[in-house]
Chain A
Amino acid sequence: MSDRSYTLCITICITTLINPKMSRIPSAMSENIIEVKNLEYSYNGFRAVDDVSFFVREGEIFSFLGPNGAGKSTVINILTTLLPLQKGRVRIAGCDRATEPEQVRRSIGIVFQDETLDRDLTVWETLELHGRLYSMPKVERRQRIEEMIELVELEDKRDARTRNLSGGMKRRLEIGRGLMTRPKVLFLDEPTIGLDTQTRRRLWDYIKLVNESGTTIFLTTHYMDEADLVSNWIDILDHGKIIASGVPSELKNALGRDMVYIETSNNAAATETLKSLESVRDVKAASQGLVVTINVDGTHLLPQIMNMLKDRGIEILSVNLKKPTLDDVFVHYTGRDIRNAGAEKLRRIQPRSGH
């Protein structure tokens, strides 16, 4: 019987892939390319950014994660000199944002959240315009245009007006444009918003490629899974404050819990037994079985749990071990789901309907 229960019933699936390489680049090897201290920003009395401090190491992919309206774009706009610096200190690539804004602009590339293309210029002209705006010498400019067109695979669209490009192509063009001047940092504000899954995946491939060639990436997104997959470091922003930061895997492990979904022949008895365990944080009834939140590494606790239940004569029908995702991290720190956080904010400001 015991053999049967093992062979028949155990299906452990880990939903989140953990990349062992994913860690912050050691400080001895790299400098802080962005340093932000006590940044504050208010729009007509509303504090959109509240005492935010962080740093970005050279060569990493740094993500700013948070729901819509958390203040991500405001921070990016201050860093890229589009919004004035009201309070706080910002250094980018060794330049002071307050005193050398033009130097800062020269050392960064930006892909804005919304489209910033002249719809009536061609792909080539768009890049030519950019190179000229950044005073690139003609020979270098023309050479870089060709390189960028090749990088973002728009060779056959060179003379197409940007209005005729697909959403993904426009994004790629904007990324190529942002990279034309070989910036030290590339800012990407919600780069994949509104794109289909396939286009998104390709876009991330480009971004990783760019990062591997040495460009530091500063990213904002509200897609948890994407941030999780590409980032070396994540700062979670909510209501203008950084509420958590860390390497993605650490962030998730810091919750100190795994989630086990378990189906048994006697759920009530199983609940009793599991609740008596010190490492079990909570047991909740789910549709068919139980969701057990545990405080320790589930890969080690799970065999123990299963043996214990077996000893009590409770048959296990199925088991599923799930690693917490960044969504769970966000819920943990804010008590809200990131996908609903923006909507919830909207709902709050809408007037109550009359009776």
Chain B
Amino acid sequence: MSYEFVTIYWRDMLRFVRFRIVLVASLIQPALWMALYGAAMSSNFSRLSSSIPVPKDAISISYLTFMGAGVIALTTLFTSLFGGITLLFDKNWGLMREFLASPMPRSNIIIGIGLSGVTKSFIQVMVIMGFGLIIGVRFFPNYTLVQTAGAILGILLFVGIFSIGFLFLSSAISMSMETPEGLQAVITLLTLPLFFASNALYPIDAFPYPVKILSMFNPLTHLVSGIRYFAIGNDFFAIGTHYAYTTGDVLLSFSALMVFAIVMFAVAWWVVKKAVIT
């Protein structure tokens, strides 16, 4: 077992701390989503769904609270998908040769980048949650302090696994790409279907069948389900839809994310192992 991934992590975090502008910029976008899109849609949806009766025992939640989980998930998706871009720059600027020529096993490169990416996601998620709570997202309704802490840990667990999976994918793409433009194109291509075929901003129950199937295999859907389970509860009502999560549902989502992360690790490992940079 080697621990050089700590070195890769250290170096990536060093850059992250040095370029705080990246963090600030990555926080503004989700804030705008919540503040503008969230506020606008919230009033619309409440007007449209006000006539639908709320089921017994379910808590009715605002659209802003509903989409709060989605925004956290989307931000994590974007950040993680671009997280591997460091590797592309290292490749183009030459530092990758220093990594590849060192005795460090190559898996350490993707593990290090994965862990630093997860750290960045955690920072983002905490800040976005804080911001959301300020502007009216009602997470952790009637939770005790211990329950809230547990819920936050649960959210971070889901975010972490989801994030590292996409960081591995991003690393694999970055290692195979020649230019940042190519990377941008591929990631944009990936982002939109992941984004739309998910439950991040609206319920999937009313989706056409094929899209619904697609969304069930979408890691983003599983992340959003996990966040909602921990942040809102297992029985709530939003935009005319009744959500009831069982423990089984959550475990299924968790397992799906685990499988996704493991598969992505295998792909990234394979790519980085056979990478030739001269």
Partner of A102, one of B14, B18, B90, B103: B103
Q: Per-residue CB proximity of A83-127 to B under 8 Å, as 1/0? A: 110000000000000000010011000101011111111000100
**Is the CB of A192 closer than 8 A to any CB of chain B?**
no
A80 to B276, CA, bound (A): 12
Say if the beta carbon of B102 comes within 8 Å of chain A. yes
Cβ < 8 Å to B, chain A residues 28-84: 73-74, 77, 80-84
Given A120-B15, A129-B7, A81 contacting B98 (CB threshold 8 A): no
Q: Of A131-139, A213-221, A334-342, which binds chain B?
A: A131-139
User: Judging by beta carbons under 8 Å apart, are A132 and B7 in contact?
Assistant: yes
Taking CB atoms, residues of chain B closer than 8 Å to A83 are 276, 278
In the assembled complex, the Cα of A115 lies from the Cα of B95 at a distance in Å of 8
B276 touches A114 (CB 8 A): no
Residues of B within 8 A of A112 (CB): 94, 97
How would residues 1 to 20 of chain B score, 1 for a CB under 8 Å from any chain A CB and 0 otherwise?
01010110011001100110
| Interface residue B243 (Cβ < 8 Å from any Cβ of A) | no
Complex: chain A residue closest to B93, CB-CB = A119
**Chain B residue nearest to A108 in the complex (CB):** B101
* Complexed CA–CA distance, A317 and B278 (Å): 55
Q: Determine if A24 is an interface residue (Cβ-Cβ < 8 Å).
A: no
Given the complex of chains A and B, what is the CA–CA distance between A202 and B146 in angstroms?
65
Closest Cβ neighbor of B108 among chain A residues: A133
With a CB–CB cut-off of 8 A, which chain B residues contact A115?
Answer: 93-94
Question: What is the minimal beta-carbon distance from A27 to any residue of chain B, in angstroms?
Answer: 30
B95-A117 in contact (CB<8A) = yes
B99 at the interface (CB under 8 A from A): yes
8 Å CB interface, B96-154 against A: 97-105
A300 to B: closest C-beta gap in Å: 49
Alpha-carbon distance between A282 and B11 when the two chains are bound, in angstroms = 64
| Known pairs A82-B276, A83-B276, A121-B14; A133 contacts B99 (CB<8 A) | yes
Q: How far is the CB of A144 from chain B (nearest CB, A)?
A: 15
Q: Could you tell me if A132 and B14 are in contact, using CB atoms closer than 8 angstroms?
A: no
For residue A44, give the distance in angstroms from its CB to the closest CB of chain B: 13
Inter-chain CA distance A246–B104, complex, in Å, is: 37
Q: Which residues of B contact A73 (CB under 8 A)?
A: 278
Majority SS at the chain A contact face? loop
Residue A130 lies at the interface, judged by CB distance under 8 Å to chain B: yes
Give the size of the chain B interface in residues (CB under 8 angstroms): 26
- Nearest Cβ on chain A to B90's Cβ, whole angstroms: 8
- The answer to whether B101 and A105 have CB atoms under 8 Å apart is yes
Q: A82-B276, A83-B276, A84-B276 are in contact. Are A135 and B95 (CB under 8 A)?
A: no
The closest CB in chain A to the CB of B99 belongs to A133
Pick the most buried of B10, B19, B95, B103: most chain A CB atoms within 10 A of its CB: B103
A133–B276 CB distance below 8 A: no
Task: Give the distance to chain B from A102, nearest Cβ to Cβ, in Å.
Answer: 5
Tell me how far the C-beta of B107 lies from the nearest C-beta in chain A, rounded to whole angstroms: 13
How many Å lie between the Cα of A134 and that of B102 in the bound state? 6
Nearest-neighbour CB distance to chain B for A107, whole angstroms, equals 9
Q: Is the CB of A118 within 8 A of B7?
A: no
Contacts of B262 in A (CB 8 A): none
Known: A115-B94, A118-B93. A134 touches B103 (CB 8 A): yes
Verify B103–A105 contact, CB threshold 8 A: yes
Taking a contact as CB atoms under 8 Å apart, the answer to whether A116 and B4 are in contact is: no
CB of A119, distance to nearest CB on chain B (Å): 7
B190 beta carbon closer than 8 Å to chain A: no
Q: How far is the CA of A196 from the CA of B239 in the complex (A)?
A: 70
Contact partners of A130 in chain B: CB under 8 A: 98, 102
Q: Is the CB of B4 within 8 A of A133?
A: yes
Alpha-carbon gap, A121 to B94, bound state (A): 14
Q: Is the CB of B97 within 8 A of A133?
A: no
A132, B10: Cβ atoms closer than 8 Å: yes
Pairwise interchain contact A129-B276, C-beta atoms closer than 8 A: no
In the complex, which residue of chain B has the Cβ closest to the Cβ of A132?
B7
- CB-based contact B94/A114 at 8 Å: yes
- Cβ-closest 3 pairs across A and B: A116-B94, A132-B7, A133-B102
B interface residues, Cβ below 8 angstroms from A: 2, 4, 6-7, 10-11, 14-15, 18-19, 90, 93-95, 97-105, 276-278
Pairs A–B under 8 Å by Cβ, sample size 15:
A82-B276, A102-B103, A105-B103, A106-B103, A114-B94, A117-B93, A117-B94, A117-B95, A120-B19, A125-B14, A129-B10, A129-B98, A130-B102, A133-B7, A134-B104
